[in-house]
Structure 1
């Protein structure tokens, strides 16, 4: 019976990882820059691996937006990559302000990412 215990533990650990839930929340930006004259109309597109999880609403004329949306992905795995793309909505085509990539880990984590075009994206995620 003792020889089954390590195998059972391995199976339970594998099931726990396979059923982990990724939750992204508390998205906000500070000091966003607009590549065009004026104040940015910011929003964020959220990806887990090659899966699109959605996008936030657009905050018009706001250099420091705070988005209320939360994004969830079931069956997430530790060490996979989450990607957040920050955009400025424009009339003809939206401008990419920056991309944040994070290899996700178990637990709850707060991060910030400096955007290529100026400003910082702040966010919290949990995996478990």
Structure 2
């Protein structure tokens, strides 16, 4: 069982360029492998079928805050914004959780 208490995101829909901006990513109470260890988390992000990239991994933290910002110039209202939180490991990285939201018009935090 993986405890992903919160993965917060802020996004902004810019009507003039029809872009979605994602910034202010952070998570709380992440667990590592094995449970009790702190993870080395990072986030992968998509809007629709477009992969936006990933954050840097942060070493040994259950409450990460990432400075990364992602822009999706072709993301439209009703597209799916998907963020996956991963734990960086030596051989195989472990997925800790997923956050999925439908893109809506407006600014949200």
TM-score band w.r.t. shorter chain: 0.7 to 0.9
Which of 24, 34, 52 lines up with 2:32 in the alignment? 34
Higher helix share: 1
Structure 1 runs (4+) greater than 3 angstroms displaced: 16-19
Q: Summarize deviations over 1:65-120 as a string: whole Å, max 9, x none.
A: 1000000011221010010000001111000001111001111112xxxxxxxxxx
Structure 2: stretches of 5+ with no match in the other structure: 1-13
Per the normalisation by structure 2, the TM-score is 0.81
CA shift, 1:17, in A, is 6.4
Kindly indicate whether the alpha-carbon contact (under 8 Å) linking 2:40 and 2:57 is maintained by their aligned counterparts in 1: yes
CA shift, 1:43, in A, is 0.3
Count of aligned pairs: 95
Structure 1: stretches of 5+ with no match in the other structure: 1-15, 111-128
Per the normalisation by structure 1, the TM-score is 0.69
Kindly indicate whether the alpha-carbon contact (under 8 Å) linking 2:48 and 2:75 is maintained by their aligned counterparts in 1: no
RMSD (Å) for aligned C-alpha atoms: 1.7
